[in-house]
Amino acid sequence: MFQSVDFPGGRVAFTSEMSFIAESSEKRVKCYRVLDDNGHPMSSRFEQVSKEVAVKMYSSMVTLQIMDTIFYEAQRQGRLSFYLTSNGEEAINIASAAALSPDDVVLPQYREPGVLIWRGFTMQEFANQCFGNKADYGKGRQMPIHYGSNKHNYFTVSSPIATQLPQAVGAAYSVKMDRRDACVVTYFGDGGSSEGDFHASLNFAAVMEAPVVFICRNNGWAISTPTSEQFRSDGIVVKGQAYGVRSIRVDGNDALAVYGAIHAAREMAIREQRPILVEALTYRVGHHSTSDDSTKYRPADEIQRWKISRNPLARFRKWIERNGWLNDEDESELRDNVRKQLLHAIQVAERTEKPPLEDLFTDVYDHLPSNLQEQEKLLRDTIEKHPQDYPAGVPV
């Protein structure tokens, strides 16, 4: 008799036809793209980028690429303990940062140093963190690449996967309560979407109506685990709807598409006070980190294909070159400059002394509790007795 009933949560209509919702739609969700493989706009309708911004985007992508190359080499030479590149994901890094305002608060995972480059974190600041010297804002406490900068609204990187996601929702709720003209942006990978924190955060963000943009870098690999062994859904983008979160899939190797998608996502997040999920499809061209050799689990020609013919810098360069905004001379000057800056930064960072011993004990709490005072004193006595046991570089 009843056509529908108002169950908790709203009225639901009945049907006499028994049908299960399919586990996936017949066609995969399409991927938003602006530039084709040759750097030609596929349509004239896209978020326009000025010459100044476009050139800065390209320069920043080149900077990120060179930084990765030089730091990676420094690690191979044994000068750094660890490194992790963003190779192949330069467009996601830089174009997403370019589409944001500096007031937008970023909670990164660890493959987004390009956001800091865009915001003005210097090569020296990167090098100081990687070498863990006394100028490192993190006071030498974390492994290389765990950058953080209060003045750039960029929270300090934490190694555990996806923990930043629910925190981003809490931060966004604060931005909402303060009625700020800003949003919170958080990054994660395809592997991170399997963590409970991912699901918790999407659900919380929807319920709390938090202005947060979730950016998934779906690069196909969680260390050695391919997405086929990570999930059986059509990637990440489809997970938004189940939580009531608006979502888009974008070509992560197309800087203009990323820029446009993040620009629109930010607008909606702030204007409508809602979360947005962006899945950027890309490929992790580098190894997971310097502790990994990815040729052990994926074909070398696959890596090469993405590195050469699907390179995000190359595609964007074709577009700005065609616009007459950059020539070969500009580019080689840019590359020379960045390389010089970096080599200098590394030399300085290497020479700069380590943080003092007291930094081992501070910042556990706002003040040093008595147990730590006691332990510091004991340690200093031991150092005096056995100085040969301790690295000379740390001032005691």
Partner 1 sequence: MANCLRRFGRLGLISKAKNGKRELYSTTSVSPASGDNTSSTKSINLFTAVNQALHIALDSDPRSYVFGEDVGFGGVFRCTTGLADRFGKQRVFNTPLCEQGIVGFAIGLAAMDNRAIAEIQFVDYIYPAFDQAGDIPIVNEAAKFRYRSGNQFNCGGLTIRAPYGAVGHGGHYHSQSPEAFFCHVPGIKVVIPRSPRQAKGLLLSCIRDPNPVVFFEPKWLYRLAVEEVPENDYMLPLSEAEVIREGSDITLVGWGAQLSIMAEACVEAEKDGISCELIDLRTLLPWDKETVEASVKKTGRLLISHEAPVTGGFGAEISASIVERCFLRLEAPVARVCGLDTPFPLVFEPFYMPTKNKILDAIKATVSY
Q: Which residues contact 47 (CB under 8 A, 6 or more apart)?
A: 99, 256, 259, 260, 263, 264
Torsion of CA 191, 194, 199, 200, to 10 degrees: -90
C-alpha distance from residue 395 to each of 8, 39, 213, 258, 284 (Å): 64, 53, 43, 46, 40
* Binding pattern for the stretch 300-339 against partner 1, x by CB under 8 A and - elsewhere: ----------------------------------------
Task: Please indicate whether residue 50 is annotated as part of the active site.
Answer: no
* 50 forms part of the interface with partner 1 (CB under 8 A): no
Task: Kindly give the residue spans of alpha helices, DSSP state H, lying in the chain.
Answer: 51-76, 90-99, 113-119, 123-131, 164-177, 196-208, 239-242, 255-271, 300-308, 312-322, 328-351, 370-385
* Rounded-to-integer distance, Cα 345 and Cα 135, Å: 12
**Residue among 363, 378, 387, 390 that touches partner 1 (CB under 8 A):** 363
Q: Backbone phi, then psi, for 312, in 5-degree steps?
A: -65, -30
Residues 67-106 that bind partner 1 (CB under 8 A): 105
* 387 forms part of the interface with partner 1 (CB under 8 A): no
* 39 forms part of the interface with partner 1 (CB under 8 A): no
Q: Maximum distance among all alpha carbons in the chain?
A: 89
**Residue among 223, 242, 364, 378 that touches partner 1 (CB under 8 A):** 364
The CB-of-202 to partner 1 minimum distance in angstroms stands at 10
* 277 forms part of the interface with partner 1 (CB under 8 A): no
Residues 205-234 that bind partner 1 (CB under 8 A): 207-208
Structure tokens at 18: 């028994």
* 65 forms part of the interface with partner 1 (CB under 8 A): no
The CB-of-60 to partner 1 minimum distance in angstroms stands at 23
Among residues 4, 24, 101, 159, which one is catalytic?
159
Q: Categorise residue 220: left if φ over 0, alpha if ψ from -120 to 50, beta otherwise.
A: left
**Residue among 68, 197, 251, 254 that touches partner 1 (CB under 8 A):** 197
Question: Annotated catalytic sites, by residue?
Answer: 73, 159, 288-289
* Contacting positions for partner 1 (CB under 8 A): 105, 107, 136-139, 141-142, 146, 148-150, 155-156, 158, 160-163, 165-175, 177, 184, 195-197, 200-201, 203-204, 207-208, 359, 362-366, 369-372
